[in-house]
Amino acid sequence: MPVNSLKDLYLDQLQDLHSACTQALPVIDELGRAADDKELSQALIQGQNGTAEGIEKIARICGDHGVDPAGEHCKGMQGLVAEARAHGLEESFGDPAVRDAMLITQYQRMMHYAIAGYGCLMAFANRLELDGDAAILQECLDETRQGDEHLTRIAKSGINASAA
């Protein structure tokens, strides 16, 4: 699809974020299962559920605009997923707390990518006066930020100290 207007860019980036979140979903599950700390494991499961909800919301927005949500492949998230698997899951760790610290790192990298995507999309939707879309995207952005902040609290409250 040629990108000739802000609306075209908006639709293209909706598809890109749908791809990004879809690619992240299975690795979030893998990170959650690999976590030693119960609170971290539960937080990653919550993150997986939030990501799945975001995928559904993006798909609905795409459908409202008559575009296939699966029309793009996000190479950026493809790289982040590969990094998460290589460094968080396939790497050898002598201490479970060090692995948990790495799992948080990898999850947050993927979520920061999603936060950037949601923020840009929300700005585009606002400029295009797509108020309903903007509200949904704001909700997704807020939920993703909250999940990111929750993992930061988990890291600061004990995992990083244990890993040190």
In angstroms, how far is the first alpha carbon of the chain from the final one? Answer: 49
- Domains in the chain with CATH codes: 6-67+74-163 (1.20.1260.10)
Question: Band of the pLDDT at 2, cuts 50, 70, 90?
Answer: confident
Cα dihedral sign, 37-93-148-78 = negative
Measuring CA to CA, how many Å separate 36 from each of 1, 41, 87, 150? 44, 7, 16, 17
| pLDDT tens figures, 54-104 | 999 999 999 999 999 999 999 999 999 999 999 999 999 999 999 999 999
pTM: 0.95
